[in-house]
Amino acid sequence: MKGVVLKNEIGRIVESDSLDELASLTPLDAETVADIQVRHPNISVQYLDFIRTIGVGTTTNEMHIYQPQPIAELSKYTSFKIYNSKSARQLFGLASKKAVFPSDAVVVADSGASWRYCLRLSDPDTVFVADMMGPTFEPEASDFFTFVRKTLILGS
């Protein structure tokens, strides 16, 4: 029954994508999705269904959806280093606190700027936004399909 409900939700997402913003994404094969589920037990079922059915890649409106990456890997990116450098924090008048994000968070999407959209394995339904410049980590949507409708599909 749950799979049927998800398929209906995926169908509604596709129908609401009137500008075909998700058409450029590539579905992942069942083996890759199963591997993700093994590596990240308790990850959002909606996210898994989305990447299996609709896919990963870059949408036509330049949003990026990808396989989960541990949030700790953010510190390797140049943009993270720049946003969290002492000079940038002084320039932008930001608090001096360093970015500390929950260790069970995985990054699954971004807009190419300082925001990264995350899932937490301890709270798999909620989508969070990690703002590297803030730094903040806050709820963005109550579930992955709401996140897709609210953030990925601008024409809906």
Residue 132's domain comprises: 2-152
What number is the average pLDDT over the span 103-128?
91
In three-state secondary structure terms, 130 is strand
* Amino acid 123: pLDDT: 95
Number of domains forming the structure of the chain = 1
- Which tens digits make up the pLDDT trace of 81-98? 666 666 666 666 655 556
Res. 4: pLDDT tops 50: no
Average pLDDT over residues 89-116: 77
pLDDT at residue 97 in the model: 59
pLDDT top residue among 133 and 42: 42
CA distance 70 to 31: 20
Sheet holding 57-58, edge to edge: 57-58, 64-70, 105-110, 115-120, 123-131, 136-141
Asked if residue 58 has pLDDT above 90, the reply is yes
143 CB-contact burial (10 Å; exposed 0-12 / middle 13-18 / buried 19+): middle
Residue 48: per-residue pLDDT: 97
Q: 97 or 57, which is more confident? A: 57
Dist. CA 138–CA 55, nearest whole Å = 25
Domain of 142, CATH number, reads 3.40.1580.10
Burial status of residue 73 (CB atoms within 10 A of its CB: 0-12, 13-18, 19 or more):
exposed
* In the predicted structure, residue 5 carries a pLDDT above the cut 90: no
The pTM of this model reads 0.84
Residue 49 pLDDT exceeds 90 = yes
